[in-house]
Structure 1
Amino acid sequence: MGFFTKDTSAPEPSVLEPLSRDRVAACLDARGLNYGVDDDGDIGGYWDGHVFYFLVLGQNGEYLQARGRWNRKVGSDQLDALNRLVNEWNATRLWPKGYVRDEDGEVGVYAEHTVDYEHGVTDQQIDLQLACSIATGLQLFEHLDEQYPEQAAAAKAEQEERD
């Protein structure tokens, strides 16, 4: 049989279910994780003080994007330094993609991972993407905390006051 010849003797693959917000929430529920749903129906929660959102995007809701934001207050004077750190991260790791934005005098740093599930997805794949996106996003944020220990300590002290 040629490489591009379809093997008709093989069984048909099972049908994958479409991606949905309900399925994302079910995966978080199965792990016993705390999360909320905003007014737009987006699912989000906090891990180690950093907010993560799990967005179902695309014309047909076929993309699952996990996006986390580094919860540190860093002035815009550090924009170039953070751009270099995040670009170095992106050059040496497959994911998550990191990016930096100037947000009204402060620098916002984001970790993002998007997968196209146009042909459907298993619950195990959703669970794996959520778990890996949170874990690797937190690795990026920990890397940045090592470079900005004062901001990390201030954010942790602020969190302890709230708790």
Structure 2
Amino acid sequence: MEDGSSEGSPVVSMGPSSNSEIGGQPMPEQPEVIIPDQALIRDLLEENEIDYVVDEDGDVCMARKDFRIYYLFQDDELYTIRTFYNRPYPIERKAELLMAVDEWNRDTLWPKVYTRTLDDGTVRVVGEAALIISVGVTYDHFVGTTANWVQASMDFDEWLVQRLNMQASAENDEE
């Protein structure tokens, strides 16, 4: 045949009227795309019986002994989980803390963590992860991502405590 097609091969049309089948097989139903918001976060936390507060800005916060996780939305464009770790570090340990934070950021995807030095000279650690939501996401993707980020935020806190304690123990052994 001159047109390059072979006999018996199915012809697949990619026009808009043919989007219910590909290669003679029905296309799977596409999941609904949503733009998540604070109401969805509150519903998810309530469904999972997780205590939270809503701050004066309307942001949802899950507070624990060692950290606070804020669920933030910016103009239906960006969804961010920001974790503020409550443990203060003296300024004298900032170099050690920065080395640990750099190690975490090199070896893991999220949360990305950084330090903040406060006016009183203490150093705090903040973690964050972000997702562009302006084009929408599926419910399952949003829930799974949120759960993974929260777990990773808790894992970082445990990792940092172990990492800094092991570092301190190694230094004491050398002396």
Work out whether residues 43 and 54 of structure 1, in 8 Å CA contact, stay in contact via their aligned partners in 2.
yes
Match of 1:146 among 151, 162, 174: 162
Match of 1:120 among 136, 143, 164: 136
Return structure 1 stretches of 4+ with deviation > 3 angstroms: 5-8, 11-15
Deviations 1:111-136 (A, max 9, x none): 11100011112332232222111110
**Residue 98 of structure 1 pairs with residue 113 of structure 2:** yes
- Larger Rg belongs to: 2
1:18 is matched with: 35
Give structure 2 stretches of 5+ with no counterpart: 1-12, 21-28, 166-175
Aligned residue for 2:110, secondary structure, equals: coil
1:68 is matched with: 83
CA distance in 2, matches of 1:10, 1:123: 23
2:5 is matched with: none
1:159 is matched with: none
- Whose RCO is larger (CA < 8 A, sep 6+)? 1
Calculate the TM-score normalised by the size of structure 1. Answer: 0.78
Give structure 1 stretches of 5+ with no counterpart: 150-163
* Displacement of 1:42: 0.5
Work out whether residues 62 and 69 of structure 2, in 8 Å CA contact, stay in contact via their aligned partners in 1.
yes
* Displacement of 1:7: 5.7
Residue identity opposite 2:61 in structure 1: G
CA distance in 2, matches of 1:136, 1:14: 26
Q: 1:86 to 1:141 in 2, by over 3 A?
A: same
Q: Provide the alpha-carbon RMSD of the alignment.
A: 2.1
Aligned residue for 1:112, secondary structure, equals: strand
Calculate the TM-score normalised by the size of structure 2. Answer: 0.73
2:147 is matched with: 131
2:57 is matched with: 40
Work out whether residues 113 and 133 of structure 1, in 8 Å CA contact, stay in contact via their aligned partners in 2.
yes
* Displacement of 1:63: 1.1
**How many residues are matched?**
143
Query: Identity over the aligned pairs, expressed in percent?
Result: 26
Residue identity opposite 1:142 in structure 2: E
